[in-house]
Amino acid sequence: MVAGGVDEKSLISFIMENSCGVLLQELQNIWAEIGESKPDQDKILLEIENECLQLYQRKVDEATCSKARLYQSVTAKEAELAALMASLGEQTPYSQAEKRVSSLKEKLAAITPLLEDLKVRKEERIKQFVDVQLKIEKITAEITENGRSSNVTCEEQDLSMRKLNEYQTQLHTLQKEKSDRLQKVLNYTNEVHSLCGVLGLEFRKIVAEVHPSLRETSSEEYTNISTKTLDGLFQAVLKLKEERKSRTYKLRETLKSLLELWKLMDSSENEKHHFVKFTCILDSPYGEITEPGLLSSDIIKQIETEVERLTERKASRMKDLVLKRRLELEEVCRRAHIEPDMSTAPEKTTALIDSGLVDPTELVANIEAQIMKAREESVGRKEIIDRINRWLFACEEENWLEEYSQDENRYSAGKGAHLNLKRAEKARVIVNKIPAIVDNLILKTFAWEDQKNMPFLYDGVRLISILEEYRLTRQQKEAAKRQYRDRKKLYSLLEKESVYGSKPSSRRSSSLSSEITGYHMDVNGFMTHDSTPKLLSQSSYSSRHNRYFSDIRRLSSTHLNFVNLPREDTSSSFASISGSEPESSSLG
């Protein structure tokens, strides 16, 4: 490259020397023709040389100035490029390109497009910064409810992506907070709307007190999300919930009074129709009442008015209510076969009410407590009562079977005869189970008495006494039946001996004859007595048995009235029976 430069300079010098030499030769020829003197020629040549030097110097000065301007321009652009690169936080390939160029113009040509590109990118970056900052400022103003500034200053010293990412992260955080706040506002607003509907309050008026924008539009764009608005809505929800709780409590208490009055007054379905739909509040938790208008002031006022009306009517009907509750108590006791409490007997309660010594409401409450107690006791007695009903049913079947057995036409082909035969078969199966039923019932009763430590009374009579009496009577009946069958066999034997000519001994004949004297066989094959038999005949025993069980059957419909069973002291009776049954506790 240096050699090339030297050759180029030599060539220029050679050309100039040739050109100048030609001109100088021509000038000397002219001077010779003119006859210029040597001093004048030297003077002119000196002037020419000075003028050439001045021209060269001027050109050198111009070139120096041009170089300085280029250098200054390159330096300025490099400084601007460095500033832009620092501001944008980026690296450019200029430093590598600079090493490959040597002239200032090449440097300037290399740096200029890079600089223009960075300027464009800077403008775009500034727009991004301004856009993000405007959004940040807008959301911040919405949250803090401060006035927004129209001027956003962008710090151009740091336009790096790192800084932009920081702003964008801040913006995303604010946008999320805005979204969360907006959701909270909508949730609070919906809750206020729901509570206002339940309480019968004006929704727009409530939210307008918090912020007017909540009433004007439901658009999210115009919904105020400031901290003040959120706090206001939160307080409004708390206030409405407290009001709902207060009204719920008030309405529940009023409804309880109304239900008690309905029960006391035996109100008709017509009277209850308008208010019965509100009783669902009693089964709903405090926070789950969402039906619109259910807790409005008008509804509460209507129910309070109805309670006041029924309270005024209650005073005049309390005596009837007391007597009605007493009848209800007696009915519960009758079904459970227990004795009702005589402290609230009709004659006593009527006298107390007439005398004014007792509040009728207290009497009703007392009787209702007795009803509850009787029902609870009835539940504990249910298993034994069910077994008693099975026993009584078996006794009825036994009575029917005995009557059926005495029917002379039971085998006739009449209408319904086959049904009676089927029933008789079933009845025999049931009757055969009676001893086991009674034994199990006695065991269950002893177990119940051991558990409760008290006797099991059935219409005021101890059940064990009834069962023991029944078992004894049944044993007597079975013994009578066996005696009757034995005598029937003996009578049949005597008939055979008379037919076939057997001659029993006179002692035996007279003995047997004396035993069956007064007996004859009826058409059904039963042995009966003409006048007064020594033993109970089957029909007379059955008659007594039927009368006994007709009394027992009244266990399921009326109070027990065993005339042969004295009312014993329950504690002494229980002690005596328990003492006679040493295995009762183990059986229980």
Q: pLDDT tens, 468-526?
A: 999 999 899 889 989 998 998 898 888 888 887 554 444 444 443 333 333 334 433 33
Q: CA 578, CA 580: separation in Å to the nearest integer?
A: 5
Do residues 164 and 128 make contact, with C-beta atoms less than 8 angstroms apart?
yes
Which token pair is 426? Answer: 């079933």
Rounded CA-CA distance 273/288 in Å is 23
CA–CA gap between residue 339 and residue 561 (Å, rounded): 13
Query: How many other β-carbons are positioned within 10 Å of the β-carbon of residue 432?
Result: 11
Q: Is 245 helix (H, G, I), strand (E, B) or coil?
A: helix
Q: What percent of the chain has pLDDT over 90?
A: 29
Measured CA to CA, the distance from residue 115 to residue 82 in angstroms comes to 9
> Closest Cα partner for 460 from 559, 541, 347?
559
pLDDT digits (tens, 9 = 90+) for 176-217: 999 999 999 999 999 999 999 989 998 888 888 888 877 664
Tokens read off for 238: 């708390």
Tokens of 363: 């009497």
**Average pLDDT score over residue span 420-441:** 91
CA distance 401 to 396: 9
- Find which of 269-273, 401-405, 450-454, 519-523 is predicted with most confidence, using mean pLDDT: 450-454
Sign of the CA dihedral with 344 first, then 347, 348, and 354 last: positive
- Per-residue pLDDT, 177: 93
Q: How many CB atoms lie within 10 A of CB 299?
A: 16
Q: How many secondary structure helices (H) and strands (E) does the chain include?
A: 19, 4
Reported pTM: 0.47
Sequence-separated (6 or more) residues with CB below 8 Å from residue 85: 91, 92, 118
Q: What is the Cα 513 distance to its own chain's centre? A: 89
Q: What is the SS3 assignment for 457?
A: strand
Residue 470: what pLDDT? 92
Q: How many residues does the chain have?
A: 588
Please state, rounded to an integer, the average pLDDT across all residues of the chain. 78
In single-letter form, the type of residue at position 321 comes to L
Extract the tokens encoding 504.
């029993």
Q: What gap in Å lies between CA 322 and CA 395, rounded to an integer?
A: 39
What does the pLDDT read at residue 436? 92
520 backbone dihedrals φ, ψ, rounded to 5°: -150, 160
With a cut of 50, say whether residue 151 has pLDDT above it: yes
Closest CA to 542 of 421, 401, 429: 401
Please give the DSSP secondary-structure letter assigned to residue 294. T
Structure-block tokens of residue 471: 């078992």
Whether the pLDDT of residue 542 is over 70: the answer is: no
Shortest CA distance to 76 belongs to which of 100, 108, 99?
A: 108
What pLDDT sits at residue 96? Answer: 52
Percent helix, percent strand, percent coil in the chain, to nearest 5: 80, 0, 20
* Alpha-carbon span 366 to 359, nearest angstrom: 11
Confidence of residue 315 (pLDDT cuts 50, 70, 90): low
In angstroms, the CA 292 to CA 201 distance is 10
In this prediction, residue 17 has a pLDDT band, given cuts at 50, 70 and 90, of: low
At residue 515, the pLDDT reads 39
341: left (phi > 0), else alpha (psi -120 to 50), else beta? beta
In angstroms, rounded to a whole number, what is the distance separating the alpha carbons of residues 252 and 258? 10
Structure tokens at 266: 């035996």
| pLDDT tens readout for residues 39-89 | 988 898 899 889 989 999 999 999 999 999 999 998 998 888 888 888 888
Task: Give me the phi and psi of 504, to 5 degrees please.
Answer: -70, 165
Q: DSSP readout, 16-60?
A: HHHHHHHHHHHHHHHHHHHT--HHHHHHHHHHHHHHHHHHHHHHH
